[in-house]
Amino acid sequence: MKFKTALASATILAACMFGSASAADLTIGFSQIGSESGWRAAETTLTKQQAEKRGIDLKFADAQQKQENQIKAIRSFIAQGVDAILIAPVVATGWDEVLTEAKDAEIPVILLDRTVDSSKDLYLTAVTSDLVHEGNVAGKWLVDTVAGKPCNVVELQGTTGSSPAIDRKKGFEEALKGHDNLKIIRSQTGDFTRTKGKEVMESFLKAEDGGKNICALYAHNDDMAVGAIQAIKEAGLKPGTDILVVSIDAVPDIFQAMAAGEANATVELTPDMAGPALDALEAYLKDKTEPPKWIQTESKLYTQADDPQKVYEAKKGLGY
């Protein structure tokens, strides 16, 4: 205890001496896109938790899906003289001016979850997941699980043309390359929703001999998988046994399905973007360590062996 206090006072002393702020009295502005999905709500909750844990004063601004609100929020953060700014940018373009203002005010900016088209020296770093890698992890799991046995895969794509749909498809197909026992026999969009996931899975089951022809389902997000699981059950098959189910996102409800043995694996798109971001920021403020321009978050694979019930309980309160 004493050691900690001593350390803390030493840090404060050092901070005063060098004129830079320590984590203890940092003020950070966070411009969030909005709360359009459960995942984003969880990201907000976790960012607030991370800030609280580190004793950071977090100023939170909800942009309600509008870039102009984000730009306003960033300008007001600059006016308030915050120590750093976190942005989850709603679109990729149109950030040059406001980012230059932040740079002129010598406030480091970190991008969360999405990137922007501006020059790389306008922000400190970007913390995002790699969508292609996520699809790849899901594909590898399936390749390892079927272990050389022939397997027909059906795919529920995300919204046609959206970057998660394109990249998660690409990553999965890359993982399957060279494994001729695995074949994607049907691929159709389920618009990332449970209702469409269920409807499309119903049609897959009808089209493939009542589902007897299908050995695995790959869904671009958990919600579609949850819908598809219901369709499989209603068709009189056992999801998780008769048809393997692998999806991406790791939302709480898929862990419930995994605990019930109805889903097999999910790849986490972590909502904890703020953790790595704040680590990089603290290191930068402490001794000017330049972080890499892109910090990739871990795409962790969860299976039925990872005590899904416990993960579900832990994730439930995050606002998903």
Q: How many CB atoms are located within 10 Å of the residue 160 CB?
A: 10
> Looking at 16-24, 186-194, 260-268, 271-279, which segment touches other proteins (CB under 8 A)?
186-194
Q: Which of residues 250-279 bind other proteins (CB under 8 A)?
A: 253
- Residue 45, interface with other proteins (CB under 8 A)? no
- Please give the residues from 104 up to 163 whose contact with other proteins meets the rule CB under 8 A: 157, 160-161
Least Å distance, CB 138 to other proteins, is 19
Q: Report which residue type is found at 170.
A: K
Question: In whole angstroms, how far apart are CA 72 and each of 63, 76, 79, 98, 109?
Answer: 9, 6, 11, 9, 15
Q: Are 138 and 175 in contact (CB under 8 A)?
A: yes
Q: Minimum distance between the CB of residue 118 and other proteins, rounded to whole angstroms?
A: 29
Q: Hey, which residues between 194 and 253 contact other proteins (CB under 8 A)?
A: 194-195, 198-200, 202-203, 206-207, 223, 226-227, 230, 234-236, 253
> CA 71, CA 286: separation in Å to the nearest integer?
28
Q: Which helix (H) or strand (E) holds 287?
A: helix 274-287
Question: At its nearest, how many Å lie between other proteins and the CB of residue 207?
Answer: 5
In the bound state with other proteins, the residue whose beta carbon lies nearer, of 133 and 169, is 169
Binder of other proteins out of 37, 49, 76, 128 (CB under 8 A): 37
- Going by C-alpha positions, the residue among 32, 11, 27, 43 that lies closest to residue 275 is 43
With CB under 8 A as the contact rule, the residue among 113, 134, 191, 262 that binds other proteins is 191
Nearest to other proteins of 134, 191 (CB atom): 191
Dihedral, CA of residue 154, residue 160, residue 162 and residue 167, to nearest 10: 30
Contact call for residues 111 and 125 (beta carbons, < 8 A): yes
Binding site for other proteins (CB under 8 A): 35-38, 41, 157, 160-161, 186-189, 191-195, 198-200, 202-203, 206-207, 223, 226-227, 230, 234-236, 253, 319-320
